């Protein structure tokens, strides 16, 4: 660990804190956290319970790969447990930094699997998710930097880099919570969760409505902040 900050560290710390003060970046990052958690908790649960991830069979290299992982038993369940853990960590502000590290490793592993086994366009999606995980690491640089540099005191860090942070209103928290719940159930249904017929349409509809409300609330808060900003 070095004793002094470097220009790169100062740059990352300054702009990560500036990003945190932006209304749209804050809400977009929250949405990214929701998406990762919603996608990987149901997937991880399938693996943790020792169930097959796909029904491709052994007629293709991809199917054989998943069948071999499934046959390992404990290792397959370990992968599922790690994905569930990462999905939980990334949803909590206090553990977002470690969650971003977990997800970066998970997504890099998935990226190289998709490239190596020829998943086609899935590799592009995996690459975009890797970029999303790196964004979360950038977002949490104020905490992650202590792995490489001397820790800056809270008072010093606040004085140098921080101003008023973004906060969600009570109504926004309710909207985001409902949207997250719908997304979690929807992704769960894609992984085998049995719910009444038509539930997936209802979940998509409610989730989309929550997304629209989130944009409206974000726009209103952003306009309010602009009206109260010093000229």
Contact 101, 137 (CB under 8 A): yes
| Structural tokens at position 166 | 């973004």
Chain segment 75-99, per-residue pLDDT in tens:
999 999 999 999 999 999 999 999 9
pLDDT at 4: 59
pLDDT at 7: 83
Question: In terms of DSSP H, where are the helices of the chain?
Answer: 7-20, 23-48, 61-71, 74-89, 96-117, 122-139, 141-144, 154-161, 170-190, 199-228
Distance of CA 100 to the CA centre of its chain: 7
Instruction: Look at residue 21 and give its three-state secondary structure.
Output: coil
Count of alpha carbons within 13 angstroms of residue 29, beta-carbon side: 26
Going by C-alpha positions, the residue among 123, 103, 112 that lies closest to residue 44 is 103
pLDDT at 218: 84
Find where tokens 């300054």 sit. Answer: 14
Chain segment 17-53, per-residue pLDDT in tens:
999 988 889 999 999 999 999 999 999 999 999 998 7
> Is residue 159's pLDDT more than 60?
no
pLDDT at 84: 97
Chain segment 98-154, per-residue pLDDT in tens:
999 999 999 999 999 999 888 888 899 999 999 999 999 999 998 998 888 776 654
Phi, psi of 58 (to 5 degrees): -100, 15
> Is residue 163's pLDDT more than 90?
no
Neighbours of 189 (CB within 10 A): 15
> Is residue 179's pLDDT more than 50?
yes
pLDDT at 152: 62
Count of alpha carbons within 13 angstroms of residue 224, beta-carbon side: 9
Distance of CA 50 to the CA centre of its chain: 24
pLDDT band at 165 (very low <50, low <70, confident <90, very high): low
Contact 91, 97 (CB under 8 A): no
For residues 194 and 60, which has the higher predicted lDDT (pLDDT)?
Answer: 194
Distance between start and end Cα atoms, the chain: 42
For residues 74 and 157, which has the higher predicted lDDT (pLDDT)?
Answer: 74
């Amino acid at each position: 660990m070095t004793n002094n900050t470097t220009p790169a560290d100062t740059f990352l710390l300054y702009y990560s804190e500036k990003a945190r003060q932006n209304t749209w970046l804050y809400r977009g990052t929250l949405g990214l956290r929701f998406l990762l958690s919603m996608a990987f908790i149901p997937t991880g649960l399938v693996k943790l319970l020792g169930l097959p991830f796909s029904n491709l069979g052994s007629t293709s290299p991809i199917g054989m790969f998943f069948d071999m992982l499934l046959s390992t038993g404990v290792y397959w369940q370990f992968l599922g447990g790690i994905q569930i853990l990462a999905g939980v960590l990334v949803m909590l502000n206090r553990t977002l930094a470690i969650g971003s590290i977990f997800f970066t490793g998970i997504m890099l592993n998935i990226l190289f699997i998709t490239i190596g086994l020829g998943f086609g366009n899935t590799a592009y999606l995996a690459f975009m998710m890797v970029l999303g995980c790196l964004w979360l690491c950038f977002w949490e640089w104020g905490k992650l930097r202590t792995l490489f540099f001397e820790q800056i005191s809270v008072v010093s860090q606040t004085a140098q880099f921080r101003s008023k942070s973004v906060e969600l209103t009570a109504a926004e928290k309710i909207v985001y919570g409902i949207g997250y719940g719908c997304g979690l159930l929807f992704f769960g249904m894609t992984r085998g969760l049995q719910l009444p017929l038509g539930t997936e349409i209802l979940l998509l509809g409610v989730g989309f409505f929550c997304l629209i409300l989130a944009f409206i609330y974000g726009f209103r808060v952003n306009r309010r902040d602009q009206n109260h900003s010093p000229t």
